Chain A
Amino acid sequence: MNWNFEILPDFIFNGLRDGAVYAAAALALVLIFKATTLINFATGELAMLGAFFVYVLNIEQGLWLWLSIAIAMLISAGIGAAVERALVRPFDPADHLPVVLITLGLFLIINAVAGDIWNYQVRRVNDPFGQFPSWVPNGSELKTSSEGTIACLTNSEGQLAEVAPGTSGAEMCEMVGRTFFEVIGARLHYRTIGTWIALALALIALAIILGKTKAGLAFRAVSSNTESARLVGVNTGRTLGFGWALASVFGTLSAALVAPALGGVNPNMMLTILIYALAGAALGGLDSLGGAVIGGLAVGLVKSVLVSWFGVVVLGQAYFSILQLAMAFLLILIVLLFRPAGLFGTRRIERV
């Protein structure tokens, strides 16, 4: 047992950064679940598609990064609304099987189409919060290991492999340039702060949309009671389409934020994130927006502190890093078993 408390803040910051991404993805799930009691299994793949739009607009077309992200969000919103209108609305929301089939079908289709167009390599994207320094040649890729630490740098020809063999991820970051503040002896990366700010801005925007606009009011009405909302004249179909659009925007946000940390975009990038996001959403309660944010942050924190710090550093068991995903799965299982409503969700009372 090696209680290495000095590096704990590092893990907390990293956990909260990952958590912010999971929170955004969990919000995408919850926005849909809240309105329709359906889980959109294609959430991760729709988000991945959004990240690829950012890639195409920014890297291939050379648009300004933030503009690319904004356009990608708009396109995803359109796709989300279109999916709702064409594939989900025709079916009775109380019957789960058809919508499970539809979203799984979408999952498979989007994954295969993205793989066909962009193949399964990791493609580097620009980091919204800090670019590569000028000595890194164009077209370089950051290869990352599963824990997200930088392993080596290669360019498109595969040359320049391992700028510095044997350097750790942290040392490599030093070489790439100073990308962090020092806070209580720990590194608070620009990317971390940027992710938090982006999530916070998106949450404020969501709060304004849901709280102050007419469409938001309609959305709240529909998600609290579809029938009554319809009776007072809310166009429920259009409102649900709006909910799917919002959800897709949050999915794209999460994918765009996480892509640089993963080393780039690839068609399978959102698979594991989907599991963490599901864990976050389940923990917060599947129909609570605030719960999704807190759940997502909590999952990131648990993953980083309990598994990476306690398991790997304190217990010295390297295999704990693989158990992160298993932890998320266990969390889903335990929450659904013992507290299906999560921490903040509405408890459903079933009358028999």
Chain B
Amino acid sequence: MSGDDWPKPFPRPADDETSDSDAGAPGVFAPSSDPETGPSAFSVAGVTSESPDPPPATTTTGVTLKPPDPPAAGAAVQHFGTGGPHAPRPPLRRRISPLSWIGGALLGIWLVAMPLTSSVTELRQNTQIVVMVLAVLGVNIATGYGGMISLGHGVFVAVGSFAAAYAVDDLRLPWAVSIIAGAAFAGALGALVGLPALRIKGIHLALVTLGLAIVFQPLAKRFPAFSGGVSGRAVGAELVPPEWFGTSRWAEGLYHYLICLAVVITAMWLTHNIINSRPGRAMRALRDNDTAAAVYGVNLVAARVNTFAVSASLAGLAGALHIVLVPFASQESYPFSESLVLYATAVLGGLGSLWGSVLGVAIREVFSWLGALFENVGGLGPLSQFLSLLDEEQFVFGVLLIALTFVFPRGLIGMFTRRTGERAPRFRRNRTRA
């Protein structure tokens, strides 16, 4: 791939891109932009920013600084299995696999049927699940689209909920303003974290954000005015539905559900638009190769800070909606492992895909449901103890993370978006060591 023409900070073995090699493996360290997630960032951001239909040669991976020579383009085309080495690529069109239709239909049915069949408590829990999509989407923006590993997004969720609680309780602002304030505050903090990300990259950034996740809890205990200290803060204000909506507990739950769903859908739509606009293309450009992005005129500072701000404000929005549902915010809910699980959920669903985040959350819930099934299987001796492990979200996610790294680096969404006959992409394997 042309991304490999650039010197890397670390020694790397030469790539032998034979036909059985994992061509199309991630460029720098994020899954490369593939035909499904939209055309190459560079072709659009740089060369053909005015043209809506990029030329075929640049549609496979990100970076093409020099004109691609035929063999390279050929290898790429061969990989996607759409023709011989020199066959012209068919015009780019989204092909939706049948699985996606089924998945979408299931999601739609669930969204409608769930509130009608749930009790008040279940409705509340399920609404929290819907809200979680935003937090995972936040991780996805930073890591999947921006290429910056963030292991600390639980912090932004927490900050969003504290800020919204502060706004609605202490400042007595209306709910709508408070929720936006929560998202904005988290976004500002995210921009702050984005600044060091200008210099700290790759695995070092992972280190710093992991540090942020671990440091947050003890720090939050120290600022009781904001976070309620050790015990957390109760939120006094309630979001009461209008009279005509009904006054029962269930009607209130439904009202919250509809509001959260509306916010989530709006946020996803906005995110979709951001990703496909100029800042979004800049985001993906610097994920694939920041030097090349700079050459093409992407403002690296603005792009990185933007990415982190957008991503953190999504997480903050999730936190702010959370206190609508549960009038209580505490640092207890955001241990470092929550951040890691958020990250794992994003990876699980699929980085670099909006629907991947939705899928990730869905899978997370399926597994927690499965785990709960196995939780109380007694009388099997050591086997019961192992089965009770399956109820541990941490354990399940750990295993899934490792398994996916080997099998599905693009996340489970890769199953839905892959075209027929196309090989599943893999992380680049180690070919040099015995």
Contact = CB atoms under 8 A, between A and B. Distances in A.
A113 B389 contact: yes
A91 B428 contact: yes
Interface of B: 6-13, 25-26, 28-30, 149, 151, 196, 199-200, 202-204, 206-208, 210-212, 214-215, 218-219, 221-222, 291, 336-337, 340-341, 343-344, 347, 385, 388-389, 392, 394-395, 397-402, 404-406, 409, 427-434
Given A92-B428, A116-B385, A337-B196, A98 B409 contact: yes
Dominant SS at the B interface?
Answer: helix
B429 to A, nearest CB: 6
21 contacts: A87-B402, A91-B427, A102-B402, A104-B151, A105-B401, A106-B398, A107-B398, A108-B344, A108-B395, A108-B398, A111-B337, A112-B392, A113-B389, A116-B389, A225-B11, A227-B432, A235-B434, A238-B434, A322-B218, A322-B221, A352-B7
A98 B392 contact: no
A89 B430 CA distance: 7
Contacts, number: 191
B215 A326 contact: yes
A13 to B, nearest CB: 25
A156 to B, nearest CB: 22
A181 interface: no
A39 B432 contact: no
A109 B13 contact: no
Interface stretch (A246-254, A256-264, A328-336): A328-336
A41 interface: yes
A104 B219 contact: no
Given A90-B429, A351-B7, A322 B222 contact: yes
Given A95-B427, A337-B199, 20 more contacts: A39-B207, A41-B210, A92-B427, A97-B427, A98-B427, A101-B347, A101-B401, A104-B398, A108-B340, A108-B398, A226-B11, A230-B434, A235-B434, A236-B433, A237-B433, A278-B207, A322-B221, A325-B214, A329-B211, A336-B207
A112 B394 contact: yes
B429 A275 contact: no
A193 interface: no
Contacts of A274: 214
A235 B434 CA distance: 7
B7 to A, nearest CB: 5
Chain A at the B interface: mostly helix, strand, loop or mixed? helix
A103 B110 CA distance: 35
B165 to A, nearest CB: 22
A340 B388 CA distance: 43
Contacts of B385: 116-117
Contacts of A38: 203
B430 A93 contact: yes
Contact of A94 (B8, B388, B397, B402): B8
A90 B432 CA distance: 10
A100 interface: yes
A271 B203 contact: no
A275 B10 contact: no
A285 to B, nearest CB: 12
Contacts of B12: 92-94
A230 B433 contact: yes
Among A105, A146, A278, find the residue whose CB has the most chain B CB atoms closer than 10 A: A105
B399 A105 contact: yes
Interface in A197-238: 225-227, 230, 235-238
A107 B339 CA distance: 13
Interface in A106-124: 106-113, 115-117
B222 A108 contact: no
B202 A96 contact: yes
Contacts of B429: 90-92
Contact of B398 (A92, A112, A333, A336): A112
A350 interface: yes
Contacts of B204: 336, 340
Given A89-B433, A104-B344, A240-B433, A94 B409 contact: no
Contacts of B221: 322
Contact of A236 (B28, B397, B434): B434
Contact of B199 (A93, A240, A336): A336
Contacts of A109: 394-395, 398-399, 402
B208 A336 contact: yes
Contacts of B8: 94
Contact of A226 (B199, B340, B428, B432): B432
Nearest to B211: A329
A257 B200 CA distance: 32
Contact of B389 (A94, A107, A112, A322): A112
Contacts of B29: 95-97
A274 to B, nearest CB: 8
B256 to A, nearest CB: 31
A132 interface: no
